[in-house]
A = this chain, B = another copy of it.
Amino acid sequence: MEKISIQKIKWLRGLGLKKNRDESDCFIVEGEKIISEILEINPNRILFILATSELILKYKLENIENVFVGNENDLSKVSTLNTPPKILAVVSKDTSKEINVAEKIIILDGIQDPGNLGTIIRTADWFGLTQIVCSKNTVDCYNQKVIQASMGSIFRMNIIYTELSDFISNLNVPIHGALLDGQRLTEVNPKDIKVLVLGNEGQGISSGIIKKITNPITIQGFGGAESLNVGIATGIFLYHWVR
């Protein structure tokens, strides 16, 4: 087992930055549960592993290239978790899949909070949706906090970043969007929904995209709160959409 070097730890830490993830088309995944899943289902996507000797032996990784041993301190230097994991891996992005416009698409316009994006990915996966199209100013889905909150669902989701305005203009379907003053969701026929646009946590859907919403829809409120969290709203919309 080769000990991890300071240079390699620096490189791993660098993958915390979107710029470096974009350049190298890879990202970091933390924790035994999710990495053992990838090792089983899709081992070719794993480019590099840093783990304790215990886990290297457990998963029989000792003679594999680009597997390095580190102690708790080494792992904590790379990890973004409060309790550093015993294993972390660098995984290649899968950019091979195209968006299929005949299937359901979630469109995200400017989601900023990594926890919200991760939860949206996990919820989409629960309801069997597989396509998310994000505006370029949406938080990077390969951010470690997003990966963590997605609980493994990111590996079952096709996520692209693009100019939303152009993308939507090329769609030939009704454009449903979550707004505060639209048709009540309970009155919307789920079969009519092909794509659903959700906006930023504070500002909602941006003015350029609002113009392209043909069907504004709303979750009716009955109390004092000014709005719903965007993750909660997404959960409710998807529940209605796939029922």
User: Which chain A residues have a beta carbon within 8 Å of chain B's beta carbons?
Assistant: 115, 119, 122-130, 151-153, 156, 185-186, 219, 221-229, 231-236, 239-240, 242-243
Contact = CB atoms under 8 A, between A and B. Distances in A.
Nearest to A155: B224
A177 to B, nearest CB: 18
Contacts of A229: 119, 122-123, 231, 235
Nearest to A118: B229
Contact of A235 (B156, B228, B242): B228
Given A235-B232, A239-B236, A225 B122 contact: yes
Contacts of A119: 229, 231-232
Contacts of A128: 221-223
A188 to B, nearest CB: 13
A224 B186 CA distance: 26
16 contacts: A119-B231, A119-B232, A122-B229, A123-B228, A123-B229, A123-B232, A125-B224, A126-B223, A126-B225, A126-B228, A153-B224, A231-B232, A233-B235, A235-B235, A236-B236, A239-B240
Contacts of A228: 122-123, 126, 235
A191 to B, nearest CB: 15
B232 A219 contact: no
Contacts of A186: 243
A228 B149 CA distance: 11
Across the A-B interface, the 4 shortest Cβ-Cβ residue pairs: A128-B222, A232-B235, A128-B223, A125-B225
A94 to B, nearest CB: 15
Contacts of A221: 126-128
A223 B153 CA distance: 9
A59 to B, nearest CB: 21
Contacts of A129: 223
A67 B202 CA distance: 31
A231 B228 CA distance: 11
A151 B222 contact: no
Contacts of A222: 126-128, 242
A242 to B, nearest CB: 6
Nearest to A153: B225
